[in-house]
Amino acid sequence: MTDLSKDEWPATGRTAQDRTLPDNDRSRPDARPLSGRPALVLGAGVAGLALATALRRHGAEVSILEQAPRITEVGAGLQVSPNGARVLQALGLDPDTIGDRTEAVELRDHAGRLVSRLAMPQEGPGFYLCHRADLIAALEQAMREAGTRVQLLQKVEEITLTDTGARIRTAIGSDHDTPLVFGADGLHSPLRRTLDGPRNPFFTGQVAWRALIPGDGGARVAQVFMGPGQHLVSYPLRGGTLRNIVAVQERRVWAEEGWNHPDDPAALQSAFHRFGGPVPGWLETVRELYLWGLFRHPVTRHWHDGKGRAALLGDAAHPTLPFMAQGANMALEDAWVLARSLAAKPGDAAGALRDYATARQDRVTRVVGMANANARNYHLRAPLAPLAHGVLRIADRVAPSLALKRFSWIYDHDVTA
């Protein structure tokens, strides 16, 4: 049994892990308010890896339980916006080495005609087109360099909150005791079930396909092709050597939730056969395709247990539809705010977790709501679609930066300040 439990988070002396922290951090007594205090993170995705690294910067002794045989991500793109890029920088990572800075975002109709083009800032924290595997690899390296312990093949079966913390039992029969556990283990988090009870997500009537195809070395532009009841998003990855495709369609036939359900490329070609521009050529090159149903999940009611033993972050707390490209960014923000809250109140974990929940609840709820609304905006039908597209074209000529300013409350937000 792994025993991380203590009567409380005692401030012990420097551990071997502390020697992995930069000298300038160790030289200031107030730089590591969580020194020697144990914590257990469930899940080694974006949220879990970022949280482990952030906690280690404050001196905590962090362990991660991951159910997979190795830390990896496959076959998907994501977008990191300035609010997420600031967290990566604060963790010591350079977003320019993880992804490609976005030059522009284009909205096009389903025939391929340009509706609006938004040039993206090229200075300061910017927007990035990233392969998910590259982001995970960078976060994993930072986590390991910080001295976090990782145990693989640890699928969580049972979580019991105790008087002194939590006991986690895994599928292989191992027990892990800890005074503080964090659920960063995604959509089907066992810790969320423990804290919040059963969820009742509902099928949105939309399904999504994702695919990676060979790239054409084109410009670093994210394109959204909007059609009646469906849309397709595409952007280059890894210097244009790959192209990411996500296609969404409204339909009544239910599809299972999850990212890894194979589908026939012919189904995608048939669904989007009316789309023009470069879309038909892209879809002809799809060889490996995945389909999943889009479900709307409520933001968790209980971010923490109230007694300073457990908390949720990332998709475990607030799964979001992909229409604002904020899933990874919200996870990064969560991780930073959670670690900072604990460091601000090292003797009051319960109070720290309340502060964290208060800081995050309204913001993520608003972002989730905006993602829900965007799905409708992309799928307009006649006569609304031509009118809306005409308004966008006029706005593009008169006030080209207006669209970006509309979302400044998301992108300009800096949780590291």
Q: What pLDDT is stored for residue 159 in this prediction? A: 96
Q: Are 82 and 124 a contacting pair, CB within 8 Å?
A: yes
Omega within 30 of 0 (cis) for the link into 383 = yes
Q: What pLDDT is stored for residue 334 in this prediction? A: 98
Q: What pLDDT is stored for residue 11 in this prediction? A: 31
Q: Is 235 a catalytic residue?
A: yes
Regarding predicted confidence, which is higher, 384 or 142? 142
Q: What pLDDT is stored for residue 103 in this prediction? A: 96
Which helix (H) or strand (E) segment is 150 a member of?
strand 149-151
128, 235, 378, 411: which is the annotated catalytic residue? 235
Q: What pLDDT is stored for residue 7 in this prediction? A: 31
Regarding predicted confidence, which is higher, 385 or 338? 338
Q: Are 182 and 172 a contacting pair, CB within 8 Å?
A: no
* DSSP-assigned letter for residue 304: B
Regarding predicted confidence, which is higher, 312 or 26? 312
Q: Is the pLDDT of residue 222 over 60?
A: yes
Q: What pLDDT is stored for residue 4 in this prediction? A: 53
Angle at CA of residue 48, ends 232 and 173, nearest 5°: 115
If phi over 0 gives left and psi between -120 and 50 gives alpha, with beta otherwise, what is residue 165? left
| Distance from C-alpha of 56 to C-alpha of 35, rounded to nearest angstrom | 8
Q: What pLDDT is stored for residue 201 in this prediction? A: 84
Q: Is the pLDDT of residue 15 over 50?
A: no
Q: Is the pLDDT of residue 345 over 70?
A: yes
In this structure, what token pair is assigned to residue 312?
């949720």
* DSSP-assigned letter for residue 22: -
Q: What pLDDT is stored for residue 27 in this prediction? A: 36
| Distance from C-alpha of 141 to C-alpha of 150, rounded to nearest angstrom | 12
Tens-digit pLDDT profile for residues 225-249: 999 999 999 999 999 999 999 999 9
Which pTM value belongs to this model? 0.90
Q: Is the pLDDT of residue 23 over 50?
A: no
Q: Are 289 and 339 a contacting pair, CB within 8 Å?
A: no
If phi over 0 gives left and psi between -120 and 50 gives alpha, with beta otherwise, what is residue 46? alpha
Angle at CA of residue 238, ends 233 and 242, nearest 5°: 55
User: What is the percent of the chain where pLDDT is above 70?
Assistant: 90
State mean pLDDT over 380-390: 82
Q: What pLDDT is stored for residue 377 in this prediction? A: 84
Cα-based distances in Å from 225 to 235, 304, 324: 11, 40, 15
Q: Is the pLDDT of residue 26 over 60?
A: no
